[in-house]
Amino acid sequence: MEKVLGIGGLFFRSKDPGTLAQWYADVLGISPAPQDYDTPAWRTGGGTTVFAPFAQDTDYFARPDQQWMVNFRVADLDAMIRQIEQSGTSVTIEGDFPNGRFARLTDPEGNPIQLWEPGKNDANVEENR
């Protein structure tokens, strides 16, 4: 069976796409989508990606009308939290679990974001550093 290689893009609606793209660049280091074919797109680090549909009535995404949530892998959760908080965005630490450490925030339009520092036993930890 042929399988996909990974996620090639994440596309979602925004009230102000330019401002939101700049927030992701300034706060999380995600380059905005290129406007031409000569500019490289944001390149992610290799590692685990979880693809998981949730029940329609889940409260995991915070708002009942929210249809998606993105989880970003990070190498150093504490450093990332400090960086994000310096931008004026608040972050909630979710805790330590067998598969790593988690924190949560929302972007300026209220979209939920989860940060994940894989556990030390995760086979992909070295790829993320």
CATH number for position 82: 3.10.180.10
Residue 46 in domain: no
Which is nearest to 77 in space by CA: 55, 56, 94, 53?
Answer: 94
128 has a pLDDT exceeding 90: no
Confidence band (pLDDT; 50, 70, 90) for 4?
Answer: confident
pTM (2 decimals)?
0.87
Residue 112 lies in domain: 69-129
What pLDDT is stored for residue 85 in this prediction? 97
Residue 40 in domain: no
Residue 29 in domain: no
Query: How many structural domains comprise the chain?
Result: 1
Which is nearest to 122 in space by CA: 102, 99, 94, 97?
Answer: 99
Residue 78 in domain: yes
Residue 112 in domain: yes
Q: Which residues of 56-81 are buried (b: 16+ CB within 10 A; e: fewer)?
A: eeeeeeeeeeeeebeeebbeebeebb
34 has a pLDDT exceeding 80: yes
What pLDDT is stored for residue 129 in this prediction? 44
Residue 48 in domain: no
